[in-house]
Homo-oligomer: A and B are copies of this chain.
Amino acid sequence: MAGPVFKQIAIIGVGLIGGSIARAALEKGAAGEVVLFDGNADALRRAAEIGFGRPAATIEDAVREAEAVFHCVPVGAMGATARASIGAMKAGAILTDVGSVKGTVARDFRSLERADIHVIPGHPIAGTEKSGPDAGFASLFEGRWCIITPEPAGSPDYVAATDRLAAFWTTLGSKVERMDAQRHDLVLAVTSHIPHLIAYNMVATAYDMEAITEGEVVKFSAAGFRDFTRIAASDPTMWRDVFLNNREAVLEVLGRFEDDLTALRKAIRNADGQKLFNTFTESRRIRREIIDAGQDTAAVNFGRDKDEKK
């Protein structure tokens, strides 16, 4: 491709994801220029210092010349940042985001009624348990899926804008998948939201056991619990918003999880070893599929070296 995908992009919210997009876009030539805005002045200053792009004085100034505006704030704040800036966007620009929930974000964006703006919500499946601008790094999206949820029947201009946004993510190293927003929310409830909720809950349960000291839990955490605390260390605001905004799918999957757990509890109570063995054997088979699909490696360190901050 000759030249960058977008001459200029705007990043609203310079945390782990926003900062990583900015840095990756500049390093990989996906954007000619990056303009930054964050409601937190310290984070904005820090992001500019690190070299994520040029800070703007106001959110309107940040989006004025951008061909694509990426809202990288918690899902619950997407509507407000879009509303505050959409009036300043130029005609034909792309309005997108990186939120973990797509149904409510799509609704919020489309309610803003600027027919000359292309609304294409997105969700890069990438991240670490860290947050803030210093957590950002250019290789975060390499080899990861990025889901975009365009309208099913768009104008030729809209389709062209969708293709450009997909090209942007591809340039950052992502594999792009197009999906219906509602389907996204159900799939992610299973692969991400409920696993996080359960991890948070397990950590809370451990610390509510008055018979066991915090020290004991910490000391013997390597036995499995440690992995749950890592998952449960993610940004609390981001996750609160995920559960408030993907309520329907989350409650549906959670109901299934609880039913299945009740069945396992009964198997334990009734000493039904065969039921336990069958469930555990099936889970092991699924692990094998994930490794075969290249989503993880069989190495004991999970091949996570590639995730590491450069």
B-contacting residues of A (Cβ < 8 Å)? 76, 125-126, 128-130, 144-145, 147, 177, 186-188, 190-209, 211-212, 214, 216-234, 236-237, 239-241, 243-244, 247, 250-251, 253-254, 256-258, 260-261, 264-265, 267-269, 271, 273, 276-277, 279-284, 286-290, 293, 295-296, 299-302, 304-305, 307-309
A236 to B282, CA, bound (A): 9
Asked if A296 and B206 make an inter-chain contact with CB atoms under 8 angstroms apart, the answer reads no
Known: A229-B283, A257-B202. A290 touches B125 (CB 8 A): no
Task: Return chain B residues, CB-CB under 8 Å to A234.
Answer: 280, 284
Asked if B290 and A300 make an inter-chain contact with CB atoms under 8 angstroms apart, the answer reads no
Asked if A195 and B307 make an inter-chain contact with CB atoms under 8 angstroms apart, the answer reads no
Asked if B243 and A195 make an inter-chain contact with CB atoms under 8 angstroms apart, the answer reads no
Asked if A295 and B195 make an inter-chain contact with CB atoms under 8 angstroms apart, the answer reads no
Asked if A240 and B186 make an inter-chain contact with CB atoms under 8 angstroms apart, the answer reads no
Extra contacts, 10 of them, besides A195-B227, A200-B280, A218-B286 (Cβ < 8 A), are A125-B222, A129-B287, A198-B198, A200-B264, A203-B282, A219-B293, A232-B284, A240-B276, A300-B309, A304-B304
Task: Return chain B residues, CB-CB under 8 Å to A241.
Answer: 273
Asked if B207 and A186 make an inter-chain contact with CB atoms under 8 angstroms apart, the answer reads no
Task: Return chain B residues, CB-CB under 8 Å to A284.
Answer: 232-234, 236
Asked if B187 and A220 make an inter-chain contact with CB atoms under 8 angstroms apart, the answer reads yes
- Which of B125, B209, B247 contacts A223 (CB under 8 A)? B125
- Interface SS of A by simple majority: helix
Nearest B residue to A232 via CB reads: B283
Asked if B304 and A233 make an inter-chain contact with CB atoms under 8 angstroms apart, the answer reads no
Query: Which residue of A211, A228, A258, A302 has the most chain B CB atoms within 10 A of its CB atom?
Result: A228
Task: Return chain B residues, CB-CB under 8 Å to A280.
Answer: 200, 232, 234, 236, 239-240
Asked if B301 and A307 make an inter-chain contact with CB atoms under 8 angstroms apart, the answer reads yes
Asked if B287 and A268 make an inter-chain contact with CB atoms under 8 angstroms apart, the answer reads no
Known: A190-B206, A251-B269, A301-B301. A229 touches B125 (CB 8 A): no
- A–B pairs, 15, beta carbons within 8 Å: A187-B216, A192-B220, A192-B225, A195-B223, A198-B202, A200-B280, A203-B283, A205-B260, A208-B260, A217-B286, A226-B296, A232-B280, A247-B271, A254-B261, A301-B308
Nearest B residue to A195 via CB reads: B224
- Which of B205, B222, B290 contacts A221 (CB under 8 A)? B290
Known: A289-B218, A295-B226. A187 touches B201 (CB 8 A): no
